[in-house]
Every structure is written in C-alpha cells, then in structure tokens.
Amino acid sequence: MLGVEQGNRPSAKFHPVVPAPGFTLVELLVVIAIIGVLVALLLPAVQAAREAARRAQCVNNLKNLALGNLNHESAMKIFPRSYDGFGGSSPKATPAKENGSSWIVSTFPYMEQQALYDQFKSAQAFEGRFDANNGAMSGSQGGIGRNTPAMRELMRTPLDIIRCPSDDSSLAPSETQYQWSNNEGTSGVPVTTTNYKGNAGNAWCYGRWFGNRDENPSTAPISGILFRANYVTPVSVKQITDGTSNTFLIGEDLPEQNAHSVAYYSNGSWMATDAEINYLPEPPIPRKYEDVYGFRSRHAGGAQFAMADGSVRFYEGSIDYKLYQALSTKAGDEAAN
C-alpha cells in the first residue's frame, strides 16, 4: 500500500492575525479634542501678539506724523496749516488760501512725501477755492474739490502712515463722508480716510471756541494746535505754555464713527475732546458734533496720542474727563497730573 509515512507528514503552522497599526476611532476623537483645546488656548495669545505688533506700528505712525509736524514748525516757525473754505468773510482770506487741503498735506514735504505733495500741486489742489457748502467735485469747485480725474485719484490715494493698522478700513464711500456726499458729481467717489486727527482743543462748538456762531472760524483762536481753518491763525511752539509734553498734538479716531474723516481735507483731519475716549455713538455714522468729536481707537481700553514734544502715550478711556480736556489745551494753565 503506497502512502506517505506519518513521520514525514509536514506539520501545520499557526499564524496569529496581527492588527494593522493605526488609531481607533475613539483615539482619533480624543486627539482632535486635544488639538481643539490647544488651539483655543493659543488663539488669544496669537491675537494678542498680532495686536501688540499693530499697536507698535500705530505708535510709529504717530511718532512720524509728530516728527513731520515738528520739522515743519522748525522750518516755518508754525505748525502745519489747514486751508478750509469756510473763511470767505475773513479780510485776510484769499481764494488760494481756502483750497480745502489739510495739515496732513502741508506736512508731506517734512515726512518724506515730497513726491505726493508735488502731485497735489500739479493737480492744482492749491489753486482756487473749495466751497465746502456746495460739496466736493461738483460744478466749478477749486482746490481739492476740483472735479478732475487727477484730483479724484489723489483724494483716494492710500498712505500707510495715516492709517492705524488695527482699523482695516482705508477707503470710505463718499456717501459716508460729509461734504463728499449727496452733492452733484460726487456720488460714488471713494476717498482715503485717516485715523489720525490733529488736536483742536477742548470743545468744537462756536459758543465756546469762537465767542458766537457768527464769528469767522478762520480768524478765531483755538485752544488746541491743529484746526480746519488755522491758516490765518497758525500755532507755534512758543504758544504752548502748558508744556509740549502736556499737550496733545495728534490723536486717534475711527472714520466709520465720524463723517468728517477725509484725510486730505481740512475738515476731515481734526478732533476735539468733547466726547470721552472711545465713546462710540449709535449707528448710522453720526454727524452730531457732541457725539463725534472725541478721540477713539480699535485698541482695547483707550487710544494713543502724539504729544507736542513728539512722544507717544496711551491714555485709557477711564481718564478723568477734566484731565483729558486739560491735555487738549495748549495754554489753559491746568495741572496735567
């Protein structure tokens, strides 16, 4: 009988099943949950670091603007002037001095922006009167309200130094900006706005600044330094008897909270201390002056200011109101401490 001997029969081997390497569903969910917790813990720190960087850049912007102002004062013996078109009844006023340009434009040559200043000059921004009562870029306006492609393009030209990086809106539709809205030929004209406003003093209203509403704003004194129509009565360092380190020169504002924020326009580049720091009026964008005229920012808790000596300080919104107003006057003899 043929066959295989039992002793020579190959033995069967057992191979255990080894599971493939990897995560179970439960383990994967645990890992995802841990990552989510870590991200939630790290995100505020990342956001805080980014805001710190933006705030540092804001300080740098204010320093450079203040330096430009001080360089202008050193060269011309006065701080930069704004040329508002409301001064028509002044015996010293001339159409060429009511072109509507702001102190920001006047400062261009003193902060490495000579080329941009020359473009404004070539576009005839300093020639003719801009009658703000008739609206910008309508009819036969002169100055910065001139209705030409060159002037329109310049009025929308962005400039990093006049924008706080914590506020991400650089162009405003004309419909939100007073005297650039609801006027013939103006609709749809975008304009560059600014977060940095010159300090005009401790009150906006005629009754407190100008004596009465009929007095000409171009010839009336102001309690601060930079104002929309200070071309007739500009301010010098020697007039700051409260001390340059105790007087605001420039502070922050939010264009979406202020319908007077066109950067290169005289009536869009000044601020007062009527409203408390970081007071936010109810929308829509307000034109009620006692609500609008107060410094504000996107920085938590307060706003930054360039002082008349070129230093930059952060003031909290909880600052004593009398001290806040005292810091905005150049010769009020108040105690600023």
Phi, psi for 299 (deg, rounded to 5):
-75, 135
pLDDT digits (tens, 9 = 90+) for 121-138: 999 989 888 877 777 776
Evaluate if residue 301 carries a pLDDT over 50.
yes
Residue 210's pLDDT is what?
40
pLDDT band at 206 (very low <50, low <70, confident <90, very high): very low
Evaluate if residue 209 carries a pLDDT over 80.
no
Q: Is residue 218 part of a domain?
A: yes
Q: Is residue 26 part of a domain?
A: no
Residue 208's pLDDT is what?
45
pLDDT band at 58 (very low <50, low <70, confident <90, very high): very high
Phi, psi for 71 (deg, rounded to 5):
-65, -40
Catalogue the E-assigned strands of the chain.
171-172, 191-192, 196-201, 248-252, 270-272, 302-307, 312-316
* Triad 144, 149, 150: Cα angle to 5°: 60
Q: Is residue 208 part of a domain?
A: yes
Residue-range definition of the domain harbouring residue 194: 41-328
> Mean per-residue pLDDT for 194-204?
87
| Better-scored residue on pLDDT, 247 or 210 | 247
Structural domain count of the chain:
1
Q: Is residue 23 part of a domain?
A: no
> Mean per-residue pLDDT for 4-27?
63
Q: Is residue 13 part of a domain?
A: no
* CA 217 distance to own-chain centroid: 24
Q: Is residue 284 part of a domain?
A: yes
| Better-scored residue on pLDDT, 319 or 132 | 319
| H or E element, residue 25 | helix 25-76
Q: Is residue 120 part of a domain?
A: yes
pLDDT digits (tens, 9 = 90+) for 100-126: 899 999 999 999 999 999 999 999 989
pLDDT digits (tens, 9 = 90+) for 222-238: 788 998 877 777 899 99
Q: Is residue 308 part of a domain?
A: yes
DSSP state of 17: P
| Better-scored residue on pLDDT, 62 or 131 | 62
- Average confidence score pLDDT of the chain: 80
